[in-house]
Amino acid sequence: MNGKKILLIVGGGIAAYKACELVRLIRKAGGSVRCVLTVGGAHFVTPMTLAALSESQVFTNLFDLKDEAEMGHIQLSREADLVVVAPATADLMAKMAAGMADDLATTLLLATDKKVLAAPAMNVRMWLHEATQRNVARLRDDGVTVMTPDEGEMACGEYGPGRLPEPEAILDAIERMLGAPDPLADQPDFAPDAPLAGRHILVTAGPTHEPIDPVRVLANRSSGKQGFAIAAALGALGARVTLVAGPVSLPTPGGVTRIDVETAREMAEAVDRALPADAAVMVAAVADWRVEPAASKIKKGPEGPPRLSLVENPDILAELAVSSRRPRLLIGFAAETDNVVGNAQAKRERKGADWIVANDVSGDVMGGTNNRVHLITAQGIENWDPAPKADIARKLAERIAAALEG
Ligand code: CTP
């Protein structure tokens, strides 16, 4: 990390102890760390522990006159190369999204002009709550990189997404952000001649998970790789890209605004909120059905296996096709194993899409790096050579740019 300076804000959650390991890893990688501990954070780790690990003074109080005189909040963020919030609690992210500044941590987050990385950690219900998802979307819009929390058993005994990403993963994200060009450089304002400059394009990607009970889901094998590659390729051509992603563990392409969702209905809402768009590329493998989830874990019993009663999910693509806010170019994907082109042609008509990318998912396509597609338009069928997903993404992005130009 070549002596890069990290300002680490430690929020108040049980995962705060992992911040100690993060400090150690950053220093081992050649960086230096200054820590700011929120009042909540200080309930979980002591300033002394962080001071010893960082070999630097730990700041806790906005109104400590001595610190304010010698090292004010502006100065603290000015000397940093990157601001990292770990753990980013629901409360801290809500304050950041609202622009509040009622303690040292939130004040310097509001005062900073540096890139900010937030690693969330909270109870699964708090993470999935609409308010938190709204705050995460707002923060991403504001340019904050919000990591997707890990999924697993939580300190509170529940299971699901909400665990602090492992310190190694946070270090990876830090290194990527320090090495990456400024995301603003990808924005249309900075590349006025780019083919998709000034366009907003919506991409859906990944699977959806439909909960059966607090521990089980109905899922599918979509990896999200093709959709993420398309979002990256559109961004590289200068588009402002909103990527609505189902549960996948893929890094967010630079300059792309990502909204994480779990279920089909959450995806439909996120798509609706992201409109208007010049084009939409619906790559997600949306679950066709959901069940009414049980409030607590379904137990095995003498009455035998439970019967799942399936309810149809909204068809996001078909509903968008008839909406008053329909993007000018609407593209669907058709994952097929048999009669690939025939089924995809019928799907284009049935769903009202302009183009369908017929995706032959027989074999090892799902989760793999290569893909086999045919582009179905009103003009006919184009058979594209099998190619890496990144190449298919670039070719599709170029076709989208040409179509919007026309
Ligand atoms: N799609 C959607 N909402 C759904 C289901 C699918 O927006 N509830 C979109 C997908 O993102 C994709 C296209 O519709 O762009 C086709 O998805 P696919 O799963 O292939 O089609 P289905 O409608 O599910 O048809 P089937 O499973 O019967 O093949």
Q: Are 172 and 246 part of one and the same domain?
A: no
Is 156 among the catalytic positions? yes
Structure tokens at 216: 């089980």
Q: Are 401 and 355 part of one and the same domain?
A: yes
Q: Are 134 and 238 part of one and the same domain?
A: no
Q: Are 83 and 215 part of one and the same domain?
A: no
Return the pLDDT at 188. Answer: 43
| Ligand 1 near 7 CB (within 6 A) | no
Domain span holding position 174: 5-179
Q: Are 372 and 242 part of one and the same domain?
A: yes
Q: Are 20 and 168 part of one and the same domain?
A: yes
Return the pLDDT at 176. Answer: 79
Return the pLDDT at 182. Answer: 45
Instruction: Give the contacts of 244 (CB within 8 A, at least 6 positions apart).
Output: 202, 203, 204, 205, 259, 261, 267, 270, 271, 274, 284
Asked whether residue 19 is assigned to any structural domain, the reply reads yes
Asked whether residue 46 is assigned to any structural domain, the reply reads yes
Asked whether residue 184 is assigned to any structural domain, the reply reads no
For a mutational test of ligand 1's pocket, the pick from 269, 317, 340, 396, i.e. the residue with the most ligand atoms closer than 8 A to its C-beta, is 317
Q: Are 108 and 222 part of one and the same domain?
A: no
Residue ending a domain, among 118, 147, 179, is 179
| Ligand 1 near 319 CB (within 6 A) | no
Q: Are 360 and 310 part of one and the same domain?
A: yes
Asked whether residue 251 is assigned to any structural domain, the reply reads yes
Q: pLDDT tens per residue, the chain (406 residues)?
A: 888 999 999 999 999 999 999 999 999 999 999 999 999 999 999 999 999 999 999 998 766 646 555 556 677 888 899 999 999 999 999 999 999 999 999 999 998 989 999 999 999 999 999 999 999 989 988 889 888 888 888 777 788 889 999 999 999 889 878 875 444 444 444 466 899 999 999 999 999 999 999 999 999 999 999 999 999 999 999 999 999 999 998 989 988 999 999 999 999 999 998 999 999 999 999 999 999 999 899 999 999 999 999 999 999 999 999 998 999 999 999 989 899 999 999 999 999 999 999 998 887 767 677 889 999 999 999 999 999 999 999 999 999 999 999 7
CATH of the domain at 396: 3.40.50.10300
| Ligand 1 near 332 CB (within 6 A) | yes
Asked whether residue 165 is assigned to any structural domain, the reply reads yes
Which is it for the CA torsion 275, 280, 281, 285, positive or negative? positive
For a mutational test of ligand 1's pocket, the pick from 288, 329, 343, 373, i.e. the residue with the most ligand atoms closer than 8 A to its C-beta, is 288
Q: Are 267 and 210 part of one and the same domain?
A: yes
Return the pLDDT at 70. Answer: 53
Residue ending a domain, among 125, 149, 179, is 179
Centre of ligand 1 from the C-alpha of residue 151, in Å: 26
Q: Are 21 and 111 part of one and the same domain?
A: yes
Return the pLDDT at 311. Answer: 95
Structure tokens at 167: 């310190």
pTM of the predicted model over 0.85: no
CATH of the domain at 78: 3.40.50.1950
Give which of 109, 73, 69, 70 is closest to 89, Cα–Cα.
Answer: 109
Return the pLDDT at 68. Answer: 58
Q: Are 207 and 161 part of one and the same domain?
A: no
CA 257 to chain centre: 8
- Domain tally for the chain? 2
Centre of ligand 1 from the C-alpha of residue 334, in Å: 7
Asked whether residue 230 is assigned to any structural domain, the reply reads yes
Q: Are 235 and 160 part of one and the same domain?
A: no
DSSP 384: P
Q: Angle, to 10 degrees, between the axis of helix 389-405 and the axis of helix 225-236?
A: 50
**How many whole angstroms separate alpha carbon 46 and alpha carbon 30?**
24
Return the pLDDT at 155. Answer: 76
The CA angle 364-377-245, to the nearest 5 degrees, is: 50
Give which of 2, 44, 56, 55 is closest to 19, Cα–Cα.
Answer: 44
Return the pLDDT at 159. Answer: 82
Residue ending a domain, among 144, 179, 214, is 179
Asked whether residue 214 is assigned to any structural domain, the reply reads yes
Asked whether residue 191 is assigned to any structural domain, the reply reads no
